[in-house]
Structure 1
Amino acid sequence: MGRTRKGRDISGWLIVDKPAGITSTAVVNKVRWALGAKKAGHAGTLDPEATGVLAVALGEATKTVPYITDALKCYEFTVRLGQATNTDDAEGKVIAESGERPSDDDIKGALGQFVGDIQQVPPKFSAVKIDGERAYKLARDGEDVEIAARPLWVESLVMLDREDYDHVLLELTCGKGGYVRSIARDLGEALGCFGHVRELRRIWSGPFEATDGLSIEDIDAQAKTPELDTHILPLTASLDGIPEANCSAENAIRLRNGNPAMVIGNGLEYGDTCWVSHEGVPIAIGTFKSGELHPNRVFVLPAAE
């Protein structure tokens, strides 16, 4: 018999502006403790030294995490030119160096090859699994890690600033599964000078922005107080851009039991993803087919007051 998890049954999103030097899991644990929440998770890992938006899902909102991880994300990052590291960031050991430095025009000209549908090889020090083992564990054990290329959609990659001879600031907007460290590594190779990420910040992730996030200091200061609750966004904040439909009380029961049910929505077409509410309460999210919603996720929430 499994152990019952203690805590408050609260659902929604708390947006954190993650600082450097802490893992994404540690941030989730901090939020869970501060709110006394029974269940929490995050929508998209940030490396420990990366900063920026980390969306923490609470309770029933954890069921919508895939819709954030699948959404576009935007990063600002600084590439250190002239050096390759074994981790593709500043935390690793320098494994190659070059005195060559590209011009601004060279850099801008090389960015186009990383836009659109591309194939990307994740860093050797990453959480990708190889024969059941994490790549970073194999790499730390000294094994020669071979990782297959993966498809990635890159919406845009632009140069923002050339800080100095050795550093360039870039902005990347991409889809699910993108590794900024791989972009820096591959750009350095394309320019013939090597490169790695010196600093990385996630500016926004789907509908969530770093500027709206709480700092760790804010969370500590407001922990276990009603004030922290005021920063919780509704579950539906993660469904921005997904069409909403409505249903009757009877069909809400059918949906909550995992069965297809009739819904009413404007402009929905066969196969569309949509979410359904009844009297303002989210009921389910799923696929619209011939007037019915076929639920993929069902929400267990109290009725609206």
Structure 2
Amino acid sequence: MGRKRKGRTLSGWLVVDKPAGITSTAVVNKVRWALQAQKAGHAGTLDPEATGVLAVALGEATKTVPYVTDALKCYRFTVRLGQATNTDDAEGEVIKESEVRPDDATIKAALGQFVGDIEQVPPKFSAVKIDGQRAYKLARDGEDFDVEARPLWVEELILTDRANADTIELEMTCGKGGYVRSIARDLGAALGCYGHVLSLRRLWSGPFQAEDGLTMDQIDAMAHSPELDSYLKPLEVGLADLPKTICTDTGLARLRNGNPGLVIASDLDYGEECWAAYDDRAVAVGRFKGGELHPSRVFNQDASNG
């Protein structure tokens, strides 16, 4: 029998407005400490120098992380034209320079090739794995390697501001796995002037908004207090992009034991992924088949938030 985890059995989401200069993992550890929670995780890493929304899942809400990770996200970022760096951001060394400075019309015309279903090569200084090792480790060791292109859905990419000839601001809404640094690098190449990211902020991720996020100072100030608990959002918020069904009384008992259970649903296709609620609390996520939900994840909220 395994040892019981220390801490409170909290379930829910805490939205953080991550500052620059701290890793996503460090934010999660701070939140877990401040809430004295047994279990915590986040829905989508931000680079250390990036800011903005980082949604931290507690307890049973960690089972909903994949649905937030898969949701659309919006980034606002500043690109420095005329320079390429080895990390595709301002932290790296300048490796190429150009005097070319395209006008706004040329930039807007070039953005179209980065919208829709695209193939994107992640930066060499990234956490993707190459033969079992992180790419950034190989890059730091001076290894020569290639990173394979990956599919990405880009909903929108627009020019929002231009402070000067060297600096443009863009806003991108995209799906899972997008690298803003790759967009800056590839846009610079398409424009014939090079480019890298100067600053990056995630404005929203799925149902979570940066403007609703707590700062690290606020989390510190409210640590270990009921006041911080009051900022927790329900587990169910993480399921916002999935259709909702209602458990019957008999379905509830079966679903809680991990078995298919009767649910009340409308306009769902056979095999469609959805979630089941009882008294507005999530019971399970699974596939709808013949009037039943066949669960893939079951939530145990009865023991939570104690």
Q: TM-score range by the shorter chain?
A: over 0.9
Q: Give 1:15's aligned residue.
A: 15
Secondary structure at 2:203's aligned position in 1?
A: strand
Tell me, yes or no, if structure 1 residue 79 matches structure 2 residue 56: no
Separation in 1 of the partners of 2:36 and 2:117?
Answer: 42
With over 3 angstroms needed to count, the CA separation of the structure-2 counterparts of 1:304 and 1:52, relative to structure 1, is: closer
Secondary structure at 1:263's aligned position in 2?
A: strand
Q: Give 2:169's aligned residue.
A: 169
Separation in 1 of the partners of 2:25 and 2:160?
Answer: 31
Q: Give 1:149's aligned residue.
A: 149
Q: How does 1:246-265 map to 2 (within 5 A)?
A: 246-265=246-265
Q: Give 1:220's aligned residue.
A: 220
Separation in 2 of the partners of 1:253 and 1:131?
Answer: 45
Alignment deviations for residues 234-256 of structure 1 (CA, whole Å, 9 cap, x no partner): 00011113221111233212112
Deviation at 1:3, TM superposition (A): 4.0
Separation in 1 of the partners of 2:154 and 2:239?
Answer: 22
Q: Where has structure 1 moved over 2 Å in runs of 4 or more?
A: 1-4
What is the identity percentage for the equivalent residue pairs of Structure 1 and Structure 2?
70
Alignment deviations for residues 53-98 of structure 1 (CA, whole Å, 9 cap, x no partner): 0000000000000000100000000000011011100011111111
With over 3 angstroms needed to count, the CA separation of the structure-2 counterparts of 1:163 and 1:53, relative to structure 1, is: same
Separation in 1 of the partners of 2:9 and 2:303?
Answer: 14
Separation in 2 of the partners of 1:177 and 1:103?
Answer: 30
Deviation at 1:120, TM superposition (A): 0.2
Point out where structure 1 has 5 or more consecutive residues left out of the alignment.
Answer: none
Q: Give 1:234's aligned residue.
A: 234
- Structure 2 counterpart of 1:63, which letter? K
Structure 1 contact 279–304 (Cα < 8 Å) conserved: no
- Structure 2 counterpart of 1:293, which letter? L
Tell me, yes or no, if structure 1 residue 100 matches structure 2 residue 100: yes
Deviation at 1:271, TM superposition (A): 2.0
Separation in 1 of the partners of 2:68 and 2:123?
Answer: 23
Q: How does 1:257-296 map to 2 (within 5 A)?
A: 257-296=257-296
- Structure 1 counterpart of 2:228, which letter? L
Q: Give 1:36's aligned residue.
A: 36
Point out where structure 2 has 5 or more consecutive residues left out of the alignment.
Answer: none
Alignment deviations for residues 271-290 of structure 1 (CA, whole Å, 9 cap, x no partner): 22211012232110111111
Deviation at 1:303, TM superposition (A): 8.3
Q: Give 1:48's aligned residue.
A: 48
Structure 2 contact 236–281 (Cα < 8 Å) conserved: no
- Structure 2 counterpart of 1:66, which letter? P
Separation in 2 of the partners of 1:291 and 1:97?
Answer: 62
Structure 2 contact 185–194 (Cα < 8 Å) conserved: yes
Separation in 2 of the partners of 1:18 and 1:3?
Answer: 32
With over 3 angstroms needed to count, the CA separation of the structure-2 counterparts of 1:304 and 1:177, relative to structure 1, is: closer
Q: Give 2:4's aligned residue.
A: 4
State the superposition RMSD in angstroms.
1.4
- Structure 1 counterpart of 2:170, which letter? L
Q: Give 2:65's aligned residue.
A: 65
Separation in 1 of the partners of 2:142 and 2:3?
Answer: 38
Structure 2 contact 10–304 (Cα < 8 Å) conserved: no
TM-score (structure 1 length as normaliser)? 0.97
